A and B are shown apart, each in its own frame.
Chain A
Amino acid sequence: MNPVPPSPTALAAEHFLARQSFIELKARERAELLVDAGTARELAGPFDRISSPWLAAQGLVPQADDGVVIVRGAMNARPVVVISIEGGFQGGSMGEVSAAKIAASLDLARKVGEQGTPIPAVLVFESGGVRLQEANLGLALTGEIHRAMLALRRVVPVVGVIPGMVGCFGGMAIAAALCSHLIMTREGRLSLNGPEVIEQEAGPAEFDSHDRKLIWEITGGAQRYAAGFADELVEDDVQTLADALRAALARGVPARHRSERVGEFLERIARIDDPLRFDSAMLRDLFAGLKTDERHVSR
């Protein structure tokens, strides 16, 4: 008797049991698992006790790392800095300390690079944007993050990941758009304004924040990838994601960043005649052909 081959369903089930979900992990576990084993070293970690001075006065409990984990380590045996935002603390929002930690570590990576050892950066986005409790400082320092990214990406790649489930919104959505290479899962979401904000400003007829299908059809990873706002769509698995990151780092700096092609995107947006009539397919068609410039400058 011939052995019965396993059914495709059984194989899919086995595959899913074997997967290690990246979404499931906390920011620190994420950063430590992405770098080569044994190379992780945290900068400005929780024992340095740099926490937000503004939250306690507003009745909120601060956190000793302010929700941002900076890990120096190696990938492909080359130095890298991984910046991982913790979505479980204040929705991954950018306050004075959390945003300053990110901007300073990007600047540090650039300065080290100027002395001869370029340090590329990996940003794991999990953020609702600026922290409302620290609005002005958070906003100003988010601008600092953007500035630091623009300076660093000239010399080494700055690779972004949006794994989910918080997603990436507000000023950090701009940061994601500045990345040399952006990786998403289908669970991740990328949008300047979050669905609740759009609904609050423009009403549920414009965007129903309870309609999960609609939200993911417009801002979800599969859609953002199809429309060219993300460069890669990967499954929620630690190894798959780490491999994709290593490949992206190895490719180096793109000849032109997406944000340098802003004119092409604006031209497409200008084609929309009725801004209230949009759907997933229409947006994919609109931005078709604007995928990443595949040419890279090797460094």
Chain B
Amino acid sequence: MSSKPPAPVQPPRCWTLRQDAKAHRLARVAQWTKDRVLDSSRIVEALEALIEPGDRVSLEGNNQKQADFLSRSLAAASPEKLHDLHLIISNINRPEHLDLFERGIARKVDFAFAGMQSLRVAQLLEDGKLQIGAIHTYVELYARMFVDLTPNIALVCAEKADAQGNLYTGANTEDTPTIVEATGFRHGIVIAQVNELTDTLPRVDIPGSWIDLVVVADRPYAVESLFTRDPRLINDMHILMGMMVIRGIYERHGVTSLNHGIGFDTAAIELLLPTYGGKLGLRGKICRHWALNPHPTLIPAIESGWVESIHCFGSEVGMGDYIAARSDVFFVGRDGSMRSNRVLCQMAGQYAVDLFIGSTLQMDGEANSSTVTQGRMAGFGGAPNMGHNPGGRRHASPAWLSLITGDSPVMRGRKLVVQMVETFAKGGEPAFVETLDAVAVGKKCGLPIAPVMIYGSDVSHVVTEEGIAYLYKADGLKQRREALAAVAGLSPIGRRSNPRRLAKLRQDGLVALPEDLGVARSDAKRSLLAARSIEDLVAWSGNLYSPPAKFRSW
């Protein structure tokens, strides 16, 4: 037996390329660091030295806190040294986020929401200066950081750090641990801007061994008070719709766990619970467990004993002392401050709660809805995560089971996905349309799919000022369309309905008008709100809530 010829000798493969590259990059800035702390005055040079063209850079910025010292510094870098970066960012929120594209520092972006900057995103896209990887939901974007969008660099923010790089992110922890984990454990470089360096931290939210560099920012990181709704702006229409939701959905389905959006209509519901809900004897029966930010408008319901638990995506400006004093309700650390976590709260909102309710700007005849309208390339943030029926859910609850309509031996329940929409928007534009603007916007921007926020097939209930359409009960698409048209008022979709059809739908329980729910339209008055102003909310909180100046009227 002759032996096989020996295989050609190959050098052994190196399995630490990423680790070695990281060490090499960090060595370039060693001259400007002491322990883990980078000299703030060298931040632009340091970013130019640490980042390489084509890198995937995760810049922390969502609808609340922003690593704005790092984003401003990155935008000040030289496009000769840094170019063609791939930005991974949950919210394109600040002007400098787009300056990066205008200056050629970044080229591609994967994001979840563009809100304020949506017009400029559309313009840069048209000018060929910006390419969209995809518009994600929050959970999708973060999940992809653990699959094929792992960042080379993470630019994050924290309140405090010590010299070892341990971070205190406190009530606004939000996305930071997730971004750091995805980057740090794949040998990316994690840079954290902090408001201050201290010897001792209230608690360690992220261990220093996950962090490469800490830099003290020129001013505290920017944070928006996005979840504060001034009760003075809630009108009788919001209240009527809120009363219908409490009777026709929360009470009827026994909804105990839920998420609320940030619209004035859901703020109205929060303020109706202690008064209207109390009169109906619903305390303890509905709305006990929440996945949402610490909305100031929830204070009266908390104080009246409605709320058992609230887990938060982030915090809200001015709510710190109140949260600390209500630690039975919120997730609070031993140090007294809240711990939020956007990804975990989104997961809770997706799988654990029985109901999602939110507002939209436009809805078509099949209940597909979108906040993307002509010229606005906004994206959706977390709404699609929570605003769908997760097919993988296995745990049952009375509310989830109450949506079963068939009688097969293998049946599963359904999440309640509720959309609230007034039939006409301000300015007389119908909210119900034949075709969503999103379809044209998607085509124009070259998106592979139309940017729909909530798919009609996931929507179980639609609430308008006319009534509630119980879409989950519909037998087939035709009946679904009819039920939706019956509550769509005088919009083009609504005009497809007629009184005879409405009577039949009411009889079959597919549509309920206020009178069918025992809701008197004449009772829908602001006097029903538990708090009618920010100052009422402050009083409810026993002066623990301290609203930002822009919400003060005294």
Contact = CB atoms under 8 A, between A and B. Distances in A.
Interface of A: 7-10, 12-13, 15-17, 20-21, 23-24, 164-165, 186-187, 210-213, 216, 220-222, 236
Contacts of B303: 9-10, 13
Nearest to A185: B554
Interface in B508-554: 526-527, 530-533, 535-536, 539-542, 549-554
A17 B552 contact: no
Nearest to A211: B549
8 contacts: A7-B542, A12-B542, A21-B532, A24-B527, A165-B553, A212-B550, A212-B551, A213-B549
Given A8-B542, A24-B532, A222-B554, A13 B304 contact: yes
B279 interface: no
Contacts of A222: 554
Contacts, number: 57
Interface residues of B, number: 24
A121 B287 CA distance: 49
B540 A12 contact: yes
A200 B300 CA distance: 39
A84 B174 CA distance: 49
Interface in B225-247: 232
A212 B549 CA distance: 6
Most buried by A among B232, B275, B549: B549
Contacts of B551: 212
In the A-B complex, list the 6 residue pairs whose CB atoms are closest, starting with the nearest. A9-B542, A213-B549, A186-B554, A16-B539, A13-B303, A187-B553
Contacts of A212: 549-553
Nearest to A214: B549
Contacts of B300: 13
B274 interface: yes
B306 to A, nearest CB: 13
A20 to B, nearest CB: 8
A25 B553 CA distance: 17
Given A13-B539, A24-B526, A24-B527, A220 B533 contact: no
Contacts of A16: 531, 536, 539-540
A187 B540 contact: no
Interface of B: 232, 274-275, 300, 303-304, 526-527, 530-533, 535-536, 539-542, 549-554
Nearest to B529: A24
A126 to B, nearest CB: 14
Nearest to A164: B553
Contacts of A10: 303
A275 B526 CA distance: 43
B541 to A, nearest CB: 8
A220 B551 CA distance: 14
Nearest to A9: B542
Nearest to B526: A24
A187 B304 CA distance: 26
Nearest to B542: A9
Contacts of A15: 539
A52 B212 CA distance: 71
Contacts of A210: 550
A196 to B, nearest CB: 16
Contact of A216 (B304, B526, B536, B554): B554
Contacts of A24: 526-527, 532
Contacts of A21: 527, 532-533
A24 B527 CA distance: 8
B373 to A, nearest CB: 27
Nearest to B539: A16
Given A164-B553, A211-B549, A216-B552, A13 B532 contact: no
Contacts of B533: 21, 23, 187
A17 B530 contact: yes
Most buried by B among A15, A16, A23, A222: A16
A296 to B, nearest CB: 30
B277 to A, nearest CB: 13
Contacts of B550: 210, 212
Nearest to A8: B542
B232 A165 contact: yes
A222 B303 CA distance: 28
Which of B300, B530, B551, B554 counts the most chain A CB atoms within 10 A? B554
A220 B554 contact: yes
A213 B232 contact: no
Given A24-B532, A165-B232, A186-B554, 4 more contacts: A16-B531, A212-B553, A216-B552, A216-B553
Chain B CB within 10 Å, residue with most, of A20, A24, A220: A24
